[in-house]
């Protein structure tokens, strides 16, 4: 098999993105060497969905003076929050209120502040994400009231339904953008500017629907090997 042209993939994807849209290179299941290769090609921001895997990889890179920025994008168990806060600058996958208090607690212990995105469930097959506008409102109310002073909300994240039905995908992204617009009007003191929407297969649609951050794995690093040793 031919070696994946990571640098070439990054520059091709970036050339097709508006300059205001950030690229998150999703390096899950790919080794530290692949992250390093992307970093040396100018890619600064990475996404990982499993905290232990991310910690091993990014601690190793940082011990060698390579300092990529890391966002956690996968659903998070409470007992992984401490490690997530230690290694990441943003947790994009906050899918329930309970996580916010845990993140705040760990931030205080570690003397850190982190950004978060609230994950909104739009696809049937994804398990995680807020499903009700009232739950989103409750979380934003608490953030707005200053209950979590070390946690700064920046916007919303979603995974669209995994389907070839382009209209369904577009509707999912548009619904998150509309939710954001209405919550931004309700909570003018919060910054809800970020919409993390779009993966390898659907990021062009996501950008058309207002995404500010696309999370791309396969189109940069190639297919993931979920087999033994992954
Ligand atoms: C794996 C993953 C991605 C990247 O998916 P690709 O299809 O490989 O681009 C994006 N977002 C989340 C939350 C993921 O888990």
CATH number at residue 133: 3.20.20.10
pTM score, two decimals?
0.96
What pLDDT, in 10s, does the model give residues 26-47? 999 999 999 999 999 999 999 9
- Closest atom of ligand 1 to 157 CA is 13
Query: What local confidence, expressed as pLDDT, does residue 127 receive?
Result: 76
Q: Is residue 1 part of a domain?
A: no
- Closest atom of ligand 1 to 215 CA is 10
Question: What's the rounded mean pLDDT across residues 12-32?
Answer: 97
Name the pairing type of β-strands 90-94 and 151-159. Answer: unpaired
Query: Is 90 exceeded by the pLDDT of residue 102?
Result: yes
Q: Is residue 13 part of a domain?
A: yes
Confidence of residue 182 (pLDDT cuts 50, 70, 90): very high
Q: Is residue 227 part of a domain?
A: no
What pLDDT, in 10s, does the model give residues 157-181? 999 999 999 999 999 999 999 999 9
Q: Please choose from 199, 205, 218 the residue to mutate so as to test ligand 1's pocket, defined by most ligand atoms within 8 A of CB.
A: 199
Q: How far is the CA of 27 from the centre of ligand 1 (A)?
A: 9
For residues 125 and 198, which has the higher predicted lDDT (pLDDT)?
Answer: 198
Query: What local confidence, expressed as pLDDT, does residue 228 receive?
Result: 57
Q: Is residue 226 part of a domain?
A: no
Q: Is residue 229 part of a domain?
A: no
Q: How many domains does the chain have?
A: 1
Binding site membership of 206 for ligand 1 (Cβ less than 6 Å): no
- Closest atom of ligand 1 to 93 CA is 13
Range of the domain at 65: 6-221
Binding site membership of 200 for ligand 1 (Cβ less than 6 Å): yes
Query: What local confidence, expressed as pLDDT, does residue 124 receive?
Result: 77
Q: How far is the CA of 215 from the centre of ligand 1 (A)?
A: 6
Q: Is residue 75 part of a domain?
A: yes
């Amino acid at each position: 098999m031919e070696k994946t042209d990571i640098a070439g993939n990054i520059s091709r994807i970036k050339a097709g993105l508006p300059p205001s849209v950030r690229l998150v290179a999703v390096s899950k299941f790919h080794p530290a060497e692949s992250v390093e290769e992307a970093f040396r090609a100018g890619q600064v921001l990475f996404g990982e969905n499993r905290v232990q895997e991310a910690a091993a990889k990014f601690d190793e890179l940082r011990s060698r003076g390579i300092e990529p920025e890391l966002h956690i994008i996968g659903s998070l168990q409470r007992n992984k929050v401490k490690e997530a806060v230690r290694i990441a600058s943003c947790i994009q996958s906050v899918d329930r209120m309970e996580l916010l208090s845990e993140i705040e607690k760990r931030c205080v212990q570690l003397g850190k502040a982190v950004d978060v995105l609230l994950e909104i469930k739009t696809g049937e097959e994804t398990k995680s994400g807020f499903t009700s506008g009232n739950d989103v409102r409750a979380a934003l109310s608490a953030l707005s009231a200053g209950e979590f002073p070390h946690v700064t909300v920046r916007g919303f994240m979603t995974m669209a339904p995994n389907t070839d039905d382009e209209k369904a995908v577009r509707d999912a992204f548009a619904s998150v953008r509309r939710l954001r617009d209405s919550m931004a009007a309700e909570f003018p003191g919060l910054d809800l500017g970020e919409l993390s929407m779009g993966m390898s297969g659907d990021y062009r649609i996501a950008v058309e629907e207002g995404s500010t951050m696309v999370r791309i794995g396969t189109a940069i690093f190639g297919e993931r090997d979920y087999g033994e040793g992954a």
